[in-house]
Each structure stands twice: as C-alpha cells, then as structure tokens.
Structure 1
Amino acid sequence: MTRTPVPAALVDRLARTRPDTAATTALRAGLHARRLLLFKSLLARLDRQAAGAPPAARARFARHWHLLEHAERRDPAQVRDVLDYPLTGAWLAGALTAPEGPALDRHLAYFGSIAATAALRAGCDLRVTLDAPEGLLSLPGLGNLRCPAHRAELHARGHLVRITGGGTAGALLLRSATGRGRPTGGGPGWSALRVLAGGTAVLDDLHPYRVPPRGIGTAAMHAAERTTVAREPWSCLWRQALALIDGTDPGRAAEIRAMQRVLVPLVPVTTTAYDGRHPMSATLRAAPGGVLTSLPAGPREFAEVLVHETHHTKMAALHERVPLYRPGGDGLHRVGWRPDPRPVVGVLQGAYAHLALMDLWRRAASGPTAPAAWRRRAGEQFAQHREQVAEALSILQESDELTNEGRQFTGGMRQHYASLGAAPPAFE
C-alpha cells in the first residue's frame, strides 16, 4: 500500500490525545483512501484468480460494480458514506481473505447490497434483483428485510423505493425531496436501524458482519439479539454519555460524533480480560469508526467506552498512514489494566486510550459544573490509571519494535502524560 505522508506536527498533535479538527479530517480521509484501495484489491483478486469464483458470480459482481460506479458519478458524497461505513470494512476483510469457492461466493453476493444501498442514497432510479442469504436482505446502514424466497426485488423510482422479498415480506421506503440520503419507511418483514440522538451514528444490531466469525479474533465477542437490544436503554445511554462529555470537554464530544459511525451491542461476557464489572468493548481493526460494546452500567461508564474506543479508531487510522510499529514482534508485556500479557501493539493501543481517559478524567474531576458523582469517579479513575500508563510508556520507550514515527508518537504521549500532573487540581 502506498502511504500518504503525514506531517510530523500532525503526528505530535495526535499523540497528545486532544481533539483536533484538522487531524480528524486527515484521519477520515486516510480511512477513505484505504477503503478504496481495498475495494480495488478485491477487484484485482477476481481478475487475477479468474477460476476462483463461478462465472455467474463474477458476472453478478461486475453488474453490481457498474451500479456502484453509476451511483458514484451521480453523488460521490453519498457513495463515500456507504463505502466508509465501518461494517463495510468488516465485509471487505472477509471477502479478501475468503478461500476460493463457496465461501468467496457468499461474500461476493453481499456486494450487491452495498452497491444497491449506494445507488439508493445517491438518488438513482434502478431495478435490481439481490441475493438474500439465510433469508435476509441487509442494506448497510439502513436495515434488513426478511426474504423467504432468499432473493429480493428492489425497484426505486423518484422518491419511492419498493423492496419485495417473497410472500408478504416487503418494504416501502421514501427518499428525501432531493432523492438523496438515507431513505425511511417500513413494511412487513422490514427492520430499520435506529439513528442515535445527536448525530448520524446508527445502532446496528442487524448487519451480518457486525462481529467477527467464531474463532477469529476475540472468540468471546457475540452480537446481542435485536429482541434483547430493544429492551435495553441504548439510545438513552448514548445521549446521556455524550451530554456528560459535552459538559466536560465539548471538543472531545464533537470528535466522537465525527469519528464514530456505528454502535454494535454485544452480549456481556466474563473472561480473564473482562471481569464483569466493566463493559466489554472493542474496535475491529477492519472496521474503525465502529464501537462494539456490551451494555454499560450507566452514562459515566459509557462515556469512558466512547473515549476509549475513539482512540483505538484514531490510532488504527494513523497506523495505516504512518506505521508506528513493525509487524511480527513476539514480545509480551504485562500491563496494569489487563491480566493477560500484551504484545507491543496492545501496549501502545491501551496506553493511548488510557492517556485520553486520563485527560478526560482530569477535566471532569476539576470541572466545577460537572455532576458530583462524575467528578468523584473521575478523580478515582485518574489516580488508579496514572501509574499504569506510566509503566506502559516505559515499556514502549524501551521497545525496539517501534518505528521512528512510533518513537516520536510515544514521545508526544509522554509529554502529554507529564502535563497532566500527579492529580487533578481539585484532588491535589
């Protein structure tokens, strides 16, 4: 992959974990450039391995690719939004690594849903037949239609979008007056995603690629069922958590709204790494901009999850443009926030996320307008993690697995750590 140079000053600003509009814009542009490169890599794989997929599957993919190109010519911004949807990245990772044969064919079939969603949001008129594996048609960022026939007919003209899935299953969606953007509506068999308050992020409890397949990555990561999610206060907690951050650090709340596109509810688990007292949360490397988490206990815990996972997304986006560490390192290190030893990348990711939380906790603990319980928790958390972050920074300083840019980055982290002091002013 050809990496676009990143100014050293930008790397330094990102190392300090503070919100930065220019940095956010640069990171999102980098994520988009990588997403386009991965799509081209998939196209190149199909050209190079002509026998890897049946002729019918290749012809279907070509039709959907032309539909995507048509939509991009009509409205590049809407298409970019669909391509950059975090869970589109999870699908891409699966398609690029799937073995030739039926597994690859199943991944390729889903590309039709991506292309059709892009065309819908771009305002295109179209009539297309789409595969619905396992009896579900999933339109990324919009919703799912139950399809007993395992195929769906999608017809869009003007402001109206009709989707039929066999039997009585169907949906009637309406596009905006301009014909562009996210259509809304309903119908028998249709389940729409919910847009979370205060922005454009959605609660996605439907996407087929919202968690890694069993046995890949974190084995304990299981998506919560929609019936369970519907009984839980996700939207309320999201709104309250962002309000709490807004009152403490408005720039950080704005950064979260700009970087995070999707929230994926997880089934709570108890493992050696997650003891049940804190929510299990994660950011998939293939899907930066998505927060995967079990239900937090309250808005304070959710606020911390959002800051923590936003910094995993920031580091993932930066590392794609500026490699911070070398691949293949096998050294393992103990860190204070987890019982299991971590490779250098885990130490770096964890130290960066906890440094951002220390910054948040310091501001919350010393903020005269913050709720008393939030100030008290923030002061306790700052003290608890201060030594842990210091130990992790020492590990990174001595590591030979970091690149020159990685050492520069951790140097900036150390400077910001020192600037936070031994305790928030209200607790000194």
Structure 2
Amino acid sequence: MNFAPLPAGVFTELARTRPAPADVALLRSALHARRLLLLKALLVRVHRHRESVDAAVFRRFEDSWHLLERAESRNPDVVRDVLDYPMTGAWLAAALAEPAGPALDRHLTRLEGIAVTAALRADCSLDLTLEPPDGRLSLPGVGRQTAGGGRLRIRAGSRVARIHPEVPQAAAPTVLLLTDRRAGALVGRGQGWDGLHTLPGSTARLDDLDPYRVPPDGIGTPPRTAAGPADTDPAVWSARWRGAQALLAHTDPGRAAEIRHALRAVVPLLPHGPRSQGATLRSAPGAVLTSLPAGAQDMAETLVHELHHSKLATLHELVPLYRQGRAAVHRVGWRPDARPIGGVLQGAYAHLALTDLWRRAATAHAAPRPWRSSAGQQFDHMHDQVGEALTILLESDELTNEGREFAQQMRRHHASLGAAPRAAG
C-alpha cells in the first residue's frame, strides 16, 4: 500500500518519537485505508472462491456486508471507528491467512458481530436472529453476549436494543442503550452480558473479552496468553492507568495526551514470572497487550514502549522502511536472541522513546523522586544500547531509502539527548 510521500516535518517528528497530534491523525488515516483494503480483499476472496465456503456461512457473510453498508450510510464515523478497532485488524489478518475450510468459515462469521456492532452504534433499526458459532456474540469494542447454547434475537430502534436469548426459560433480555448517538456509545445490562470497561479519562477499553485479542497459541516466547474477566480486576487496572497518566502529565504532558488519543485498547495478559511483560500485534496497532504492571511507573513505561511499536508498524505499512525476506540477524543489547533488521528497527525505536522519556523524568522537578532516580539509571543503561542498534541499522543494506532517512533522524534525536542527564534536585 503506497501513499503520497509524507511531509518532511511529519517524518522527522515520528523518527524523533515526540508526540504530535498531526502525526496521530495521519497514522490513523493510513490505518483506516489499510483496513478498507484488507476488508475488500476478504470480500473478493470469498466471492472468488465461494464454492469452498459453506453455503450458510456465505449467506451470513453477505447479509453482514449489507448491514455494514447500511450502517455506514447512516453514520460513517461510527463504522470507521468499528473497523479501526485493533481486534478488527487481528481478525482480518487471521481470516486472510487461513486456508479454505471450516476454520476460515468460522472466521467469516465474525463479520456478523462487526456489522451488528456498527448497526447498533449507528442507531439502525434491526430485527434479526443470529446463532453465534461458539455460543457468544462478540461486539468489538463494546462487550459480549452469551447465547446460552442457542440463538439470539436482536431488536433495535430509537437508541435502544434488546438481545433475547432463544432458550427455554430465558431471563429478561439484555438491554443496550445508545447514550451518545454522535459517538455511537453503547452501555448494556442484562443476564449473560459482559461489557468492556473504559479506562479513566480516555476512550481506551480494557479488553479482556474479544476472541481475537491474543492469537490462539499466545504471543512471544514463551507464549503469553490472554487473561479473561475472572483474572482481571478493572478497578486495579484503572488505578494503574490513572497513576501512569498522572506521572506522564507531570513529566511529559504531550506523551500523556498521545496515549489517551492513540490507544484504543489495553489487553490483559496472564502473568508469566515476577515482571510485567508487554507486547504489540502488528495486525492490531492501537492495542497494548500486557500483564498487570507493578505500579504507575511500570505502566507508564509499558504504554510508551508499546505505543511506539504500534506507530512504527503503521508507518511501515504506509512507507516501507526495510526489505522483507532477508535472512540476516543482528545482536542487540536488550534481547538475548538475534533479531532480523525489522526487529532491530522496532526495538531501537521503542527504546529511543523510552530514553527520551527517562531523560525528561530524570530532570523534571514535578516527577516523583524515586522515578527521577530510576529514570536516570535506566537512561544510562539504555542510551548506549540504542546507539549501537542505530549503528547496525545505518550500516545495513536492508533498509529502504526512506528507512535509512528515518534511522538517520533517529540518530540525530539520540545524539540530542546527550550523555547522562543531571537529576533534578
């Protein structure tokens, strides 16, 4: 996917890891264009090979597509928001990579939940019956309704939707209320309903429900797996988020604002060892996957680190920064295993953002004294490692011309950070 060249100022600002509202808007636009491209690719594939798709699944996919179009004609901003939700990207990547067969058919039924979410948030009138394949209807970015082993009837209109499980002795229906028609904000209540929690002062969701939030085999080595509602205390996560925002607001207000506006979801992972571990899915930028951080400082650093993985993944789709398929691997200071050039670039970029943050924290009078002290130590530890990684990048022939310019701008910012910062008194 190629776009017009980025404005030089935006490209430089992104390489410096410094937050800027225009950069976030540009990356969001690029993300949306890619989502539309991938969705169209899935539609073409389904139509081109419809004989390999179960007939009932094909009909449901077509009905869902038409419902999505109807919602888009009513409120395009809401539909864009649903399509740009991180887990929609994870679903598209999984569906497009799956060979024809029952597994692909199961992926295709996911469009039903996406279309229903868009229609409900756009305040479309509805009267339809669904049979979720796993007994649960997932509404991305909103919540999940358990069907109780049967079908679900959904009736909606005039800002109110009712979901009726069609099982014997069913309880009263779940009621979803559209509290903000312009933003498409839904809140729900009822038996079998689990709604997503919104993190304080933002629109980001604490997403411990979406079936595509973590790959089935986990992420990373050793594999880290998704936490569910039974493992997640929203009050604790909200406190960590609020504490991280307060730290960043006193240290680097621009980063605090960027996180509030750029992150769409925080996905809890089950803990693996004493330290929290974060991750980002390339197919789902805007989502941070992490086990529960130890405190506000750990949360702030995780959010900054993972957000920059998301930003670089989106930028690379917009402007390729390195060539795929090379076999060469390189050693970097922050990992025990050798990394391909894309991994070196990703790691250098995310750690450059952290060194920038740590320098500011170490010299900020408003930052808590313990963070000022640890930030100075972390800066000392990481600054040289980032410099070594930048040398690897600039000596490599695996970067594109744009990638080399990007790495050069990263090096300029790295040099501007200087040596060890002088801690504030």
In which range does the TM-score fall when normalised by the shorter chain? over 0.9
Is the 8 Å Cα contact of residues 141 and 207 (structure 2) preserved in structure 1?
yes
Is the 8 Å Cα contact of residues 74 and 122 (structure 2) preserved in structure 1?
yes
Q: Does 1:382 align with 2:379?
A: yes
Q: Cα distance 1:179–1:124, how it changes in 2: closer, same or farther (>3 A)?
A: farther
Cα shift at 1:134: 2.0
Aligned residues between the structures: 422
Q: Does 1:268 align with 2:288?
A: no
Q: Does 1:127 align with 2:140?
A: no
Question: What corresponds to 2:65 in structure 1?
Answer: 65
Question: What corresponds to 1:404 in structure 2?
Answer: 401
Deviation track 1:316-346 (CA, whole Å, cap 9, x = no partner) reads: 1110110000000111111111111111111
Question: What corresponds to 2:350 in structure 1?
Answer: 353
Q: Cα distance 1:27–1:305, how it changes in 2: closer, same or farther (>3 A)?
A: same
Question: What corresponds to 2:10 in structure 1?
Answer: 10
The code of the aligned residue for 1:333 comes to H
Is the 8 Å Cα contact of residues 205 and 229 (structure 1) preserved in structure 2?
yes
The code of the aligned residue for 2:240 comes to L
Is the 8 Å Cα contact of residues 5 and 321 (structure 1) preserved in structure 2?
no
Q: Cα distance 1:232–1:333, how it changes in 2: closer, same or farther (>3 A)?
A: farther
Deviation track 1:27-53 (CA, whole Å, cap 9, x = no partner) reads: 110001001111000001112112120
Is the 8 Å Cα contact of residues 372 and 423 (structure 2) preserved in structure 1?
no
Question: What corresponds to 2:362 in structure 1?
Answer: 365
The code of the aligned residue for 1:315 comes to L
Is the 8 Å Cα contact of residues 68 and 118 (structure 2) preserved in structure 1?
yes
Distance 2:301 2:92 in 1: 29
Q: Cα distance 1:185–1:391, how it changes in 2: closer, same or farther (>3 A)?
A: same
Is the 8 Å Cα contact of residues 164 and 171 (structure 1) preserved in structure 2?
yes
Cα shift at 1:416: 0.2
Partner SS state of residue 175, structure 2: strand
Deviation track 1:45-77 (CA, whole Å, cap 9, x = no partner) reads: 112112120222112111110110110011111
Q: Does 1:173 align with 2:176?
A: yes
Cα shift at 1:180: 5.7
Deviation track 1:156-194 (CA, whole Å, cap 9, x = no partner) reads: 011211012233364111112648612112111111110
The counterpart of 2:231, out of the listed 207, 228, 231, is 228
The code of the aligned residue for 2:72 comes to E
Cα shift at 1:215: 6.9
**Alpha carbon RMSD of aligned pairs, Å?**
1.7
The code of the aligned residue for 1:263 comes to V
Q: Does 1:309 align with 2:312?
A: no
Question: What corresponds to 1:104 in structure 2?
Answer: 104
Distance 2:136 2:6 in 1: 42
| TM-score, length of structure 2 as denominator length | 0.96
Question: What corresponds to 2:257 in structure 1?
Answer: 254
Q: Does 1:136 align with 2:133?
A: no
Cα shift at 1:383: 0.6
Q: Cα distance 1:131–1:93, how it changes in 2: closer, same or farther (>3 A)?
A: farther
Is the 8 Å Cα contact of residues 122 and 181 (structure 2) preserved in structure 1?
no
Cα shift at 1:427: 7.4
Cα shift at 1:149: 3.0
Distance 1:294 1:262 in 2: 14
Distance 2:221 2:165 in 1: 34
Question: What corresponds to 1:273 in structure 2?
Answer: none
Is the 8 Å Cα contact of residues 128 and 154 (structure 2) preserved in structure 1?
yes
Equivalent positions of 1:72-83 (< 5 A) are: 72-83=72-83
Q: Cα distance 1:360–1:216, how it changes in 2: closer, same or farther (>3 A)?
A: closer
Distance 1:217 1:228 in 2: 20
Show structure 1 runs of 5+ residues with no match: 271-275
The code of the aligned residue for 2:227 comes to A
Q: Cα distance 1:54–1:175, how it changes in 2: closer, same or farther (>3 A)?
A: same
Q: Cα distance 1:116–1:4, how it changes in 2: closer, same or farther (>3 A)?
A: farther
- Runs of 4+ in structure 1 displaced over 6 angstroms? none
The code of the aligned residue for 1:412 comes to Q
Is the 8 Å Cα contact of residues 218 and 226 (structure 2) preserved in structure 1?
no
The code of the aligned residue for 2:200 comes to A
Q: Cα distance 1:408–1:187, how it changes in 2: closer, same or farther (>3 A)?
A: same
Q: Cα distance 1:12–1:58, how it changes in 2: closer, same or farther (>3 A)?
A: same
Q: Cα distance 1:30–1:231, how it changes in 2: closer, same or farther (>3 A)?
A: closer
The code of the aligned residue for 1:52 comes to S
Moved more, 357-366 or 160-169: 160-169
Q: Cα distance 1:69–1:390, how it changes in 2: closer, same or farther (>3 A)?
A: same
Is the 8 Å Cα contact of residues 178 and 185 (structure 2) preserved in structure 1?
yes
Is the 8 Å Cα contact of residues 218 and 224 (structure 2) preserved in structure 1?
no
Is the 8 Å Cα contact of residues 256 and 310 (structure 1) preserved in structure 2?
yes
Question: What corresponds to 1:184 in structure 2?
Answer: 187
Q: Cα distance 1:179–1:333, how it changes in 2: closer, same or farther (>3 A)?
A: closer
Distance 2:364 2:424 in 1: 11
Cα shift at 1:390: 1.0
Is the 8 Å Cα contact of residues 364 and 424 (structure 2) preserved in structure 1?
no
Is the 8 Å Cα contact of residues 364 and 375 (structure 1) preserved in structure 2?
yes
Cα shift at 1:280: 1.2
Q: Cα distance 1:162–1:309, how it changes in 2: closer, same or farther (>3 A)?
A: same
Deviation track 1:197-251 (CA, whole Å, cap 9, x = no partner) reads: 0110000101011101217765612001211112771111011111111111111
| TM-score, length of structure 1 as denominator length | 0.95
Cα shift at 1:2: 3.8
The code of the aligned residue for 1:239 comes to R
Q: Cα distance 1:396–1:364, how it changes in 2: closer, same or farther (>3 A)?
A: same
Question: What corresponds to 2:215 in structure 1?
Answer: 212
Show structure 2 runs of 5+ residues with no match: none
